Structure 1
Amino acid sequence: MTTIKLISPVDGAVHAEREALGHEAAEAVVARARAAQKDWAALPLEERVAKVMAGIAALEAEAEVIVPELAWQMGRPVRYGGEFGGVRERAEYMAGIAAEALAPQVVEDGAQVRRVLAREPVGVVFIIAPWNYPYLTAINTIVPALIAGNAVVLKHASQTLLVGERLEAAMHKGGVPADVFRNVVLDHATTEHLIAGRDFGFVNFTGSVGGGKAIERAAAGTFTAVGLELGGKDPGYVRADADLDAAVEGLMDGAMFNAGQCCCGIERIYVHESLYEAFVRKAVAWVGRLKLGNPFDPETTLGPMANVRFARVVREQVAEAVAAGAVPLIDPALFPGDDGGAYLAPQLLVNVDHSMRVMHEESFGPVAGIMPVKNDAEALRLMNDSPYGLTASIWTADPEAAAEIGAQIETGTVLMNRCDYLDPALCWSGCKDTGRGAALSVLGYHAVTRPKSYHLKKVTS
């Protein structure tokens, strides 16, 4: 039997541990979910919505416990609270559009023929959730999957073991039947075994590119639909007409919030040469005001990274870039909390180029490289010089220019004068090595349902 351990980044100690299910026990969970799904789908849509939203309310009621629990698990400072604002926003939006998104489309309703295009649940949805925004990312699929009439099996990241348990308890308290929503603890081998066994109608995974490849290999030949949100190296572009202070505030927050551990966090910044020096000066001052330290201290704005190995990757990227000629702008002496482990001082780098890993590979930490550009064309070329494509942020006073540039960026979402944001009314998707599939919006319901056509011809004598 495999023991999954959660090592807290706060103190490096084991914060929780759980025994992973073996093949047979995991298969039994899925079998019960499949059996329970039919009755759940038969409930009126309004009843499913009410139970799911009651589950969200039950989760919110645990905020005082969940916020410090999150800090112990993945290091986010308690001053920022939990993820409840986003959870509520996304859940309410998806609940609000459910009736329209799931309604049958009547193509023809004549005297002789009735033709209807309907959508039905895929059955059991398997969600493999990440640790960086452990509630938000899971909710993106949990809510539409349950509302659409599916059963859900959730496997959460080992770094946030307790989140899956909280979500399960809340949904059950809201009225979602026990076998319709199940949290499971699995090792990689059992996870892949279940996928390869065609146990699911849809598999949603948020994580690394390597993890996504493993999911695809496991699903190969099963014809199981998969949704993959993988790596990112999201760019920000500051045009000559941008509001400089707004750009600095937005992009620095987008690069440093959650210790840089955001799927759509800003990792590389291109600034028009006319604003470059002023942007860099203001950005350095902004980062210098951060306070690295214990996430339970209300003054802390930058907690530890979720794991020592994640911080190690960032340190290695920065060291390699500096050795190749990059110039670090943040004095480490400003951040005595940097312990060489999970607590990592933020950094801004200039004199960088795309031969450096820090400008080309995902960092997922509190570091950003800044480059001057001469014009839109150069910025566009650099933004597209990436294996990833999740979001791109354009800072400008010209919406038409932003739309024109955005149309040429290889990305899933284009943002103007903001970054590191997910709008539940818009499809959350990516391209290239960032993955495939769609979450939230009407398309989020399409991901967890399948089309079914009815051609009903009347026979008259």
Structure 2
Amino acid sequence: MNDVVCISPVDGSELVRRPAATESALAAAVDAARTAQRAWAQVPIAERTGHVLAFLDAMLAMNQEIVPELALQMGRPVRYGGEFGGFEERVRYVAAMAETALAPVVPHDERPGFRRYIKRDPLGLVLVVAPWNYPYLTAVNTIAPALIAGNAVLLKHAAQTLLVGERFQMAMDRAGLPKGLFTNLVLTHDQTSRLLGSGAVDFVNFTGSVEGGRAIERAAAGTFTGLGLELGGKDPAYVRADADLDFAVENLVDGAFYNSGQCCCGIERIYVHESQYERFVDGFVAITAKYVLGNPLDEATTLGPMAQGRFADLIRRQTGEAVARGAKAHLDPASFPANREGTPYLAPQVLTGVDHSMSVMRDESFGPIVGIMKVKDDAQALALMNDSAYGLTASIWTADIDAAERLGNQIETGTVFMNRCDYLDPGLAWTGVKDTGRGASLSRIGFEMLTRPKSFHLRQL
């Protein structure tokens, strides 16, 4: 039997090893989920919501153990306290809106003698294939509304964050969910593909790379399984002439380098109006230079290792290519003593003199690197922001909300921010365009993704 292994980026040691589920165990989990779901769908929404809130309380109670555990698995510094601020916000939000979001839709034209409405029925069995970079937040975006909507859930977590799946299971069990309704599974990629190809699940939510999304599509081809795909990103920011410069610099540094840049909606490219450009670059480099790269278990560390050495190697290659083609690297890696070639420990980097012929401005980096370009006006910034295969978020830094809306209507993206970045509002749909994926989570639309409409047209005689 194949084992699934997590290698800690902290020191390269084997942190956890788990055997992949046997075929009989996987089949039993699917059968148990189907059985549990049929009964669960008949439970009132308020009661289902209560169980999910109990799960939330159980998870929050484990936070002190989870924070260092998460640092060991994927490298995020303990000083940031884990993910449960956003986790709690999202669960409570979807719980509060559930009754309204799942209420029957009644046509506006009343017809005497008829009862007409659209009911939201659960899809049935939802598979969540979760990533390692925000392993709690990304998974709960689907898990919480899926359960509240009346579905059963199977969770397949990333190998890098195997213990996160186990924490989800522990919290669900402590919350008293019916047996089989939620199951954490340790699966290989081949097992996941076969599960999708079998048509045994009704919906899969996947967060990961573009190639991973294509693999999910291929595996599910012909089964008519619903897909939600959050894939790559190359999120831009535009700093207009009227921006609050200090505020923009501080927030964009954080948006670029938080979690070592391993954020789906992290800032990877910045366009700055020529009137602000020099001061912006100077301020941005000065703040970035203050990061402390090191062991994420050390409270002084503000930048941990990347999750795997190969991810850091990609950033090193992008930097080398850009510099060879004329870009300027503003930070000396030697000023970050923990930076070491061939390891996940990678110093942050700020590049200028870049253009869209370079990989660092075109291909997803997913690491602590950002390129900054000077622009002359809104039109040039808009053209550059849209010159990408991706479209998850875009942020505009300005004092003019009308200008932000005007530009936002022309940007090819899933979310438009003004004067903020790298945040998921649970009241808004989290979605993307182009190679960033398909579908949506959170908000009322997230519930619609996890249910199917069923129309009732009842005539009274």
TM over 0.5: yes
Match status 1:14 vs 2:21: no
Residue pair 1:205, 1:229 contacting (<8 A) in 2 also:
yes
- Residue 212 of structure 1 corresponds to 213
Displacement of 1:31 in angstroms is 1.4
Partner residue in 1 for 2:436: 434
Q: Which amino acid aligns with 2:139?
A: A
Residues 196-243 of structure 1: CA deviation (Å, up to 9, x unaligned)? 111111100000000000011111111111000000000000000000
1:373-452 to 2 correspondences below 5 Å: 373-452=375-454
The reply to whether residue 136 of structure 1 matches residue 132 of structure 2 is no
Deviations 1:118-159 (A, max 9, x none): 100000000000000000000100000000000000000000
Residue 257 of structure 1 corresponds to which residue in structure 2?
Answer: 258
Q: Hey, what's the Cα distance between the residues in 1 that align with 2:39 and 2:7?
A: 39
Seq. identity, %: 62
Deviations 1:150-193 (A, max 9, x none): 00000000000000000111011112123000000101111011
Amino acid at match of 2:445: L
Deviation at 1:109, TM superposition (A): 6.3
Does structure 2 conserve the Cα–Cα contact (< 8 Å) formed by 1:23 and 1:193? no
Normalised by the size of structure 1, how large is the TM-score? Answer: 0.98
Contact 1:304 1:342 in 2 (8 A): yes
**Deviations 1:347-371, CA, capped at 9 Å, x for gaps:** 0000001111010000000000000
Query: C-alpha distance in 1, partners of 2:105/2:426?
Result: 23
Q: Which residue of 1 aligns with 2:153?
A: 152
Q: How far apart in 2 are the matches of 1:103 and 1:176?
A: 23
Distance in 1 (CA, whole Å) between partners of 2:409 and 2:28 is: 47
In the alignment, is the contact (CA less than 8 A) between 1:389 and 1:410 conserved in 2? yes
Does 2:76 correspond to 1:88?
no
Matched residue SS, 2:301: coil
Contact 1:205 1:227 in 2 (8 A): yes
Deviation at 1:309, TM superposition (A): 0.9
Q: Give the 3-state SS of the residue equivalent to 1:105 in structure 2.
A: coil
Equivalent position of 1:320 in the other structure: 321
1:69 and 1:386 map into 2 onto residues whose CA distance is 36
Alpha-carbon distance in structure 1 between the residues aligned to 2:225 and 2:332 = 50
Partners of 1:384 and 1:22 in 2: CA distance = 46
Listed as ranges, the matches of 1:28-427 within 5 Å are 28-107=28-107, 111-340=112-341, 341-427=343-429
SS at match of 2:371: strand
1:303-362 CA distance string (max 9 Å, x none): 000111111111111111111111100111220110221000000000001111010000
Q: Which amino acid aligns with 1:200?
A: V
| Distance in 2 (alpha carbons) for counterparts of 1:124 and 1:175 | 19
Note the C-alpha offset of 1:25. Answer: 2.5
Deviates more, 1:369-378 or 1:109-118: 109-118
Q: 2:419 corresponds to which letter in structure 1? A: N
Code of the aligned partner of 2:95: A
RMSD (CA atoms): 0.9
Instruction: Give the partner amino acid of 2:22.
Output: G
Does the 8 Å contact 1:27/1:194 carry over to 2?
no
Residue 42 of structure 1 aligns to a residue whose secondary structure is coil
Give the counterpart letter for 1:395 in structure 2: W
Task: Kindly provide the CA deviation profile for residues 433-460 of structure 1, in whole angstroms up to 9, marking residues without a partner as x.
Answer: 000101000000001100000111123x
5+ long unaligned stretches in structure 1: none
Aligned residues: 459
Partners of 1:69 and 1:38 lie apart in 2 by 36
What's the TM-score, normalizing by structure 2? 0.98
Letter in 1 for 2:222: G
For residues 340 and 31 of structure 2, the distance between their equivalents in structure 1, rounded to whole angstroms, comes to 47
| Runs of 4+ residues over 3 Å off in structure 1 | 108-111
Note the residue ranges of structure 2 that are not aligned, 5 or more in a row: none
